[in-house]
Amino acid sequence: MKAVGIDLGTTFSALAVLNDYGNPEIVPNREGERITPSVALFDAENQVTVGAIAKNTAVSDPENVVEFIKRQMGNPDFVFVHSGREFRPEDISAMIIKKLKADAETLLGAELPSAVITVPAYFDDARRQATMNAGRIAGFNVLGIVNEPTAAALAYGMSNPDVRQRILVYDLGGGTFDVTLMEVTEGKIRVLATDGDHQLGGKDFDDKIIMYCNDEFKREHGIDLLDDLEALQDLRQRAESAKKTLSSRDSAKITISAQGARLTVEMARKQFEEMTAELLVRSEMLLDAVMGAAELGWADVDQVLLVGGMTRMPAVMEMIRRVSGKEPTLSVNPDEAIALGAAIYAGIILAGRGDPEVVLSEAGRRLRDTVIEDVTSHSYGVLLVDSKTGSDINEIMIAKNSPIPAARTATYYVHEDGQSCVELVVLQGEDRNPANCNEIGRVVLPLGGSKPRNYPIEVTYEYDVNMIMHATIKDPQTGAQKSLQITQQGRLTNAEVEEKRETMQEVEVV
């Protein structure tokens, strides 16, 4: 079975497979491109175009085009309606994956049934589940989910297998930012600490240019481009292209036309850097947080690996040099590293399962012996009532940056006399105040009659290798127990995923 890795990016996606020598290779799409824009154009009922054509159509047909869907993963409120049908983020992501799968199968002349999909390290439970479901809806057997920086380090580690080092991965992509510190030795990758912001990426840099141009256009012509979807889409593409130009030139021109009016805005690199400085400061703060969490100084770090298209921006490199005192490494192609690493990870899983095609080769045996230790990117707590103050608190069960898989059982006590049931509320977040955390699920355990105050209740949290939480609440005296029912709105059940998978077969994705 071929090991397949998919980088499902905010702006671009890519697919890689392990070749017969155990090395990962990008499989180009039908258009011959190594990366595919993560853009879907709803052409007609049951027909969707994914990729460059869809991206180019975003201007002329903005209402039928969906972009940046990764930012909506796990968002229960997002729906895109077309021809009277509703599409959720996982459906649209599934279309992108389906395109990658179909194109690669055609090119390789082989079926690709299973894949590993990458997610930002900072993705929470709902976003990870949604990503897994997207893969399943697209027709894959999803072998696992791997964090993007871990995948990047795998791609890097495989090309430099003999060197033992600590690597900091700074990953600024189209929509998300992740920073991860890890130790890479032959056959082992150990994540020491991770942090990130899933609302920080290239799009935010584009938005700064868009806002500036819109202000200039409004001043000159009195037209607000934010009210003109077509003009705005056009400006979005021009802004992104100007941003890229500013990575290699000192200035860029952006021509805006709307409703018969035109304006050319000239932007200097320095001006762009000033405009976006606060975005880089946000990433710098997270860099500090990761170094602090790992209790390491820059002298302990051997390499800073840059991943994600945005790291081509000179200001990013300058900031890294200033903060770390090191020259960042660019040896892995930042657009392709994640998909390549995901294919290696798929190989590791298949080799671990004894898949004959993988383990028979020398490279396969090497993969089988590779160990990856990742950490949790959030804390997981239980909602308790503080017996002293009577206020609600988030009592952390599994702390952020714990090695995974992680598990813990703790005993808590019934709060009031006469309680006949207890409710477990699972929280995600570091703050002691539950109002600043996300609830990821809740379940009620009936106690079979009223119980006195301080009656013991056992709570178990298990965080698995796919970074998905399983929680159980148990009455240790009767043995009665309940597992977490996910209450997060919008979460799909297995049956719903199956149904969507069937429906997706009817959708022609080109």
Given the rule CB under 6 A, which residues bind ligand AMP? 9-12, 173-174, 202, 240, 243-244, 247, 308-310, 312-313, 335
CB of 149 to ligand AMP, least distance (A): 12
CB of 72 to ligand AMP, least distance (A): 15
Q: Which is nearer to ligand AMP, 206 or 355 (CB)?
A: 206
Say which amino acid occupies 29. Answer: N
Q: Would you report the helix, strand and coil content of the chain in percent, each value rounded to 5?
A: 35, 35, 30
Residues near 94 by Cβ (< 8 Å), separated by ≥ 6?
Answer: 133, 134, 135, 137, 138, 500, 504
Do residues 191 and 374 make contact, with C-beta atoms less than 8 angstroms apart? yes
CB neighbour class for 253 (10 Å; exposed up to 12, middle 13-18, buried from 19): exposed
Q: Which is nearer to ligand AMP, 202 or 347 (CB)?
A: 202
Structure tokens at 301: 């770090």
Query: Which residue in 340, 200, 345, 207 sits closest to 272, CA to CA?
Result: 207
Q: How many CB atoms lie within 10 A of CB 365?
A: 13
CB of 206 to ligand AMP, least distance (A): 7
Q: What is the DSSP letter of 332?
A: S
Q: Which is nearer to ligand AMP, 71 or 451 (CB)?
A: 71
Catalytic residue list contains 234:
no
Catalytic residue list contains 416:
no
Whole-number Cα distances in Å, 26 to 118, 338, 339, 367, 437:
15, 10, 7, 19, 39
Catalytic residue among 67, 148, 206, 240: 148
Catalytic residue among 2, 55, 70, 99: 70
DSSP helix/strand/coil, 205: helix
Q: Which is nearer to ligand AMP, 167 or 492 (CB)?
A: 167
Which residues are 8's β-sheet partners? Answer: 13
Catalytic residue list contains 70:
yes
Say which amino acid occupies 113. Answer: P
Q: How many CB atoms lie within 10 A of CB 441?
A: 20
Q: Which is nearer to ligand AMP, 42 or 272 (CB)?
A: 272
Q: Which is nearer to ligand AMP, 202 or 341 (CB)?
A: 202
Do residues 178 and 194 make contact, with C-beta atoms less than 8 angstroms apart? yes
Catalytic residue among 7, 90, 195, 374: 7
Q: Which is nearer to ligand AMP, 54 or 310 (CB)?
A: 310
Residues near 371 by Cβ (< 8 Å), separated by ≥ 6?
Answer: 187, 188, 189
Q: How far is CA 420 from the centre of its chain?
A: 41
Angle at CA of residue 488, ends 191 and 349, nearest 5°: 35
Q: Which is nearer to ligand AMP, 90 or 240 (CB)?
A: 240
Q: Can you tell me the distance from the alpha carbon of 79 to that of 19, in angstroms, rounded to the nearest whole number?
A: 39
DSSP strand pairing (406-413 vs 456-463): antiparallel
Query: Which residue in 221, 209, 207, 227 sits closest to 265, CA to CA?
Result: 209
Catalytic residue list contains 171:
yes
What sign does the CA torsion over 175, 65, 240, 117 have? Answer: positive
Catalytic residue among 171, 206, 240, 335: 171
Tell me which residue has its CB nearest to ligand AMP. 202
CB of 401 to ligand AMP, least distance (A): 24
Q: Which is nearer to ligand AMP, 10 or 133 (CB)?
A: 10
Angle at CA of residue 171, ends 438 and 267, nearest 5°: 105
DSSP strand pairing (47-50 vs 508-509): parallel
Lookup result for tokens 């998905």: 468
Report, as residue numbers or ranges, the catalytic residues. Answer: 7, 70, 148, 171
